[in-house]
Chains A and B, each alone.
Chain A
Amino acid sequence: MTRLLLLCALLTSLACHAHPDIQRLETKAGVPVLFVAAPEIPMFIARVVFAAGSAQDGERPGLATLTGALMGEGTVRLGTDDLHARLEATGARLNTGVERDLAWFSLKSLTRRKYAEPALALASEALVQPRFDATDFKLVQAQMQASLKQQESAPAALAALAMESLLYPGHPYGQPAGGTEVSLAALRREHVQDFHRRFYVAANALVVLVGDLSQTEALRIAESLVGKLPPGTRAPKIPEVPARSEPLVHHIPFQSAQTHLSLAQPGISRHDPDYFPLVVGNHVLGATAVSLLFQEIREKRGLSYSVSSHFSPMAVAGPFEISLQTDQANTAKVRKILRETVARYIAEGPDEAALVAARDNLIGGFPLRIDTNRKLTDYLTMIGFHDLPLDWLDRYPEAVAKVSAQEVRDAFQRRIRLDTMVEVLVGPVAQEP
């Protein structure tokens, strides 16, 4: 049976309200499990998600990222080479990732038992009893140091780093996730072990499963993956982000052909009451190739290759950011057009036709957001991690359809403050603002 077709056939409206059947299960130790059966391909993705993102770095910027990179590199029992060889002999793949709010540890495997069983046993061992080999630790530390050096010549990366620290002074979101030269040099293997002991625990975990499995198999897989995690305690909540009250323009002199320009402010959390008016409104403003900013800056004037605006909803207010790059000679001109366009949008709100088109795009494009196991895994991660209702996907099209031009204008006027935004410019000095 197809995932969406049957449900779609029952509905006649243009907006297909079909949604994946998300089952919420729980392991014996109480770890929540979100599962969607996807029987069409003989594979599954099992992802364990922890509140162990770089927002938990504390006094040691880079620690969460370094820990995540070392997960799956050897176990207490098996050396790193040995673990990789055994795991890859089953066709399975282990992946890890570290974001600001969360870290994940993901196994992709074929579903046949003779491959899945050994893969799961190895993955579980790697998760619960990581080796954190001293040689591997030094390697990842050196790789992160090299990557910091490479960022020194990447204007986009410099702009992003500066923007984080200026938008979130004194807040965990403001620290560099990749660490600093000083913080990386100070990291020790013991810090990684402590971080793992503190955050990679049952009370801090969530399992997401998508694949060719029955509910019973799904629960068994979840149990075998996280059943041996120590109970532990939840990670502390990430503090709220204070509102800004002053404008700030920061210029980083840099030898480049283009100026990179970013304009940002703290935006919204996953639970923000203005979530839908702001996201739909941003779709009109700068999310697509038919958006206002794209038309004004690229299509009409040829001033930038890529110009866009976006919200990054997080546990607490993630950034709302507009960014573009332009020939450094055009910097002053682009700054003016950008500010005027955004100011006009905030004042006037979207015109009705553009709003309808944006809603249609979001609603009509909705099935594309969940059409693969991989994308479903991402959505389940989001729903589970942020405790969103299980029918969040189901209600998404309706919620978008209800957003009016008045609501968008009202939300943008209350929330988007051009007069207190942070502006970061990376480029030649001649354009000093």
Chain B
Amino acid sequence: MPLLLLLMIVLSASAYAAPPAATEYKLSNGLRLIVQEDHRAPVAVVQVWYRVGGSHEHDGITGISHVLEHLMFKRTRHLATGEFSRRVAERGGTENAFTAPDYTAYFQQWAASNVAESFRLEAERMQHLLLDPEEVANELKVIREERRLRTDDDPGAAAFEQILAATWQTSPYRQPVIGWAADIEQMQLEEIRDWYVRHYAPNNAAVVVVGDVKPEALRTLAEETFGKIPARALPLAKARPEVPQQGLKRLEIIDPRLRVPSLMMNYKVPGLTQVGPGEGAPAEWEIYALEVLAALLDGGASARLPRALVRNGGPALSASASYAASSRLMDLFCFEGIPREGVSLAQLEKAFRAQIARVQESPPDAQELARIKTGVIAESIYQRDSPFGQAMLIGSLIAVGLDWRLKDTYVDDIDAITPAQVQAVARKYFHDDVATIAWLMPEARHD
């Protein structure tokens, strides 16, 4: 296909990708309700998001948000242990919960007629959780098994935990969400209760519903359930900014269980929550330019890393880049790669650095940028196929203090980025003073 034709295919962003309508309500107790209609099937997903997670914890109680998440499925004042799950199951629902550095969220997916039951059940455990010492002790055993499964017996995950702890000095992102083993071991019931009382309040929560529902009707339902729970003073969230790093951090992780060596390069970069008028704060376009940069490097099979580092006899078996643009705190732009046999980690690192230097030295060409933007627009349409994904997008933005409507302007914001802006952020943010480079190896180097 001639070049011109390819360029013409680039979509006009907003005309085609009109986002589905969503409505927000704020109850008098501070609880936020966001409803997005999707009438394709008679079902709905209900998610309740609390603005508390691993990054709100301090030394000695790491993992407590996740412990509480487990216990939220136990006894409450009006529901016996197991009753919550039984009620969801018998009506055909699926349910679960997840804890992340920035938030804890609970969800049910079921027939849209059950949203009222979701609200009743979630309102009940938002205010009436009972912690039984025996049940807590039992659940802590389950969580220790979870940690063994997910981290201790998984050399890749165990290494990642160490790398995060080395990357961050004062930021709470250095802590594992599941918690250090010793902290889980010594967790006290009183600490868990205190965590619940402090953070599980309507004014610290957002309810997101996507499905075959009418927003106004849900508002009334929310008033009748969550609306009855009094607001509470929330704990002061102390700022724990990362202290400036001086020079490159390097670490080597040596674990014979790591059968294949690999490389990880973390750059501390700002995201949307750091945007502001203050001195030194990034402009909003910089964040979207970093998003475009991530897509330029790894946004599909035609992106630069798979093309230059993996295919065509490149030095890697895999090479990826990822950027966390919407975290609560300063987060990472991260590179990961596995070298081909016969390629050293030093050589692979050099190859990654050469790709970064390439963007710093010259802006991407227009055709390349156009392809990336088309991919972003198309993806925003494909994403609408998943109601759960739509709810995740809304909830995760709210949970970090961002406006959920950013999801609707995302395509336009990406579309506005120029080649020069991509080059500018590559120059501004990628230098050794914010980098942590980890080499993961089965055995020590012999050089």
Q: Are B142 and A5 in contact (CB under 8 A)?
A: no
Q: Are A2 and B39 in contact (CB under 8 A)?
A: yes
Taking the nearest CB of chain B, how far is it from the CB of A111, in angstroms? 10
Stretch at the interface among A266-274, A301-309, A338-346, A383-391: A301-309
Q: Mask for A236-269, Cβ within 8 A of B = 1, else 0?
A: 0000000000000000000111100000000000
CA distance A42 to B111 in the complex (A): 25
Known: A88-B374, A325-B145. Is A38-B40 also a contact (CB below 8 A)?
yes
Known: A88-B302, A301-B138. Is A153-B155 also a contact (CB below 8 A)?
yes
A197 interface residue per 8 A CB criterion: no
Q: Mask for B97-111, Cβ within 8 A of A = 1, else 0?
A: 000000000000111
Known: A118-B1, A258-B145, A367-B41. Is A89-B370 also a contact (CB below 8 A)?
yes
Q: Are B92 and A363 in contact (CB under 8 A)?
A: yes
Taking the nearest CB of chain B, how far is it from the CB of A397, in angstroms? 10
Residues of A within 8 A of B93 (CB): 361, 364-365
Q: Are B92 and A368 in contact (CB under 8 A)?
A: yes
Q: Are A368 and B317 in contact (CB under 8 A)?
A: no
Smallest CB gap from B11: residue in A: A91
Q: Are B41 and A2 in contact (CB under 8 A)?
A: yes
Known: A88-B371, A90-B374. Is A366-B260 also a contact (CB below 8 A)?
no
Q: Mask for A392-433, Cβ within 8 A of B = 1, else 0?
A: 000000000000000000000000000000000000000000
Q: Mask for B137-162, Cβ within 8 A of A = 1, else 0?
A: 11111111110110011110000000
Residues of B within 8 A of A299 (CB): 82, 138
Stretch at the interface among B54-62, B83-91, B268-276: B83-91
Smallest CB gap from B339: residue in A: A146
Q: Are B110 and A368 in contact (CB under 8 A)?
A: yes
Partner of B260 from the list A41, A149, A303, A370 (CB cut-off 8 Å) is A149
B363 interface residue per 8 A CB criterion: no
Q: Mask for A279-323, Cβ within 8 A of B = 1, else 0?
A: 000000000111000010011111111100000000000000000
B259 interface residue per 8 A CB criterion: yes
Q: Are B371 and A364 in contact (CB under 8 A)?
A: no
Taking the nearest CB of chain A, how far is it from the CB of B184, in angstroms? 12
Q: Are A367 and B42 in contact (CB under 8 A)?
A: yes
Taking the nearest CB of chain A, how far is it from the CB of B82, in angstroms? 7
Residues of A within 8 A of B387 (CB): 371-372
Q: Are B385 and A114 in contact (CB under 8 A)?
A: no
Q: Are A368 and B9 in contact (CB under 8 A)?
A: no
Partner of B259 from the list A143, A152, A301, A371 (CB cut-off 8 Å) is A152
Stretch at the interface among B216-224, B226-234, B308-316, B420-428: B308-316
Q: Mask for B333-357, Cβ within 8 A of A = 1, else 0?
A: 0000010110000000000000000
Q: Are B340 and A142 in contact (CB under 8 A)?
A: yes
Q: Are B41 and A288 in contact (CB under 8 A)?
A: no
Within 8 A of B (CB), among A84-138: 84-94, 108, 110, 112, 114-115, 118, 135-136
CA distance A16 to B114 in the complex (A): 14
How many residues of B sit at the interface, in one of the four size bands? 35 or more
Q: Are A306 and B149 in contact (CB under 8 A)?
A: yes
B318 interface residue per 8 A CB criterion: yes
Q: Are B9 and A367 in contact (CB under 8 A)?
A: no
CA distance A302 to B142 in the complex (A): 5
B307 interface residue per 8 A CB criterion: yes
Residues of A within 8 A of B86 (CB): 290, 357
A360 interface residue per 8 A CB criterion: yes
A216 interface residue per 8 A CB criterion: no
Residues of A within 8 A of B154 (CB): 154
Q: Are B145 and A305 in contact (CB under 8 A)?
A: yes
Q: Are A89 and B91 in contact (CB under 8 A)?
A: no
A191 interface residue per 8 A CB criterion: no
Residues of A within 8 A of B95 (CB): 289
Partner of A256 from the list B82, B92, B153 (CB cut-off 8 Å) is B153
A28 interface residue per 8 A CB criterion: no
Smallest CB gap from B92: residue in A: A364
CA distance A118 to B6 in the complex (A): 10
Q: Are A88 and B301 in contact (CB under 8 A)?
A: yes
Stretch at the interface among B120-128, B164-172, B194-202, B376-384: B376-384
Residues of A within 8 A of B149 (CB): 258, 305-306, 325
Residues of A within 8 A of B258 (CB): 153
B193 interface residue per 8 A CB criterion: no
Partner of B374 from the list A16, A91, A290, A372 (CB cut-off 8 Å) is A91
CA distance A255 to B148 in the complex (A): 12
Residues of A within 8 A of B141 (CB): 301-303
Q: Are A85 and B371 in contact (CB under 8 A)?
A: yes
Smallest CB gap from A136: residue in B: B311
Taking the nearest CB of chain B, how far is it from the CB of A66, in angstroms? 14
Within 8 A of A (CB), among B34-55: 39-43
Known: A139-B317, A154-B154, A303-B145. Is A290-B311 also a contact (CB below 8 A)?
no
A4 interface residue per 8 A CB criterion: yes
Q: Are B311 and A80 in contact (CB under 8 A)?
A: yes
28 contacts across the A-B interface (CB closer than 8 A): A2-B39, A2-B40, A3-B41, A5-B39, A5-B212, A41-B385, A42-B16, A88-B300, A89-B9, A89-B370, A91-B9, A91-B11, A91-B377, A91-B379, A135-B312, A143-B317, A150-B259, A155-B153, A301-B138, A305-B143, A364-B90, A367-B42, A367-B111, A368-B92, A368-B109, A371-B387, A372-B385, A373-B385
Other than the given A85-B371, A361-B90, A371-B40, 10 more pairs (CB < 8 A) read: A2-B42, A5-B41, A42-B16, A89-B10, A93-B382, A115-B11, A360-B89, A361-B89, A362-B92, A371-B41
Q: Which residues of A contact B (CB under 8 A)?
A: 2-5, 8, 16, 18, 38, 40-43, 80-81, 84-94, 108, 110, 112, 114-115, 118, 135-136, 139, 142-143, 146, 149-150, 152-155, 255-258, 288-290, 295, 298-306, 325-327, 357, 360-368, 370-374
The 5 closest A-B pairs by CB, nearest first: A364-B92, A91-B378, A302-B141, A365-B92, A371-B41
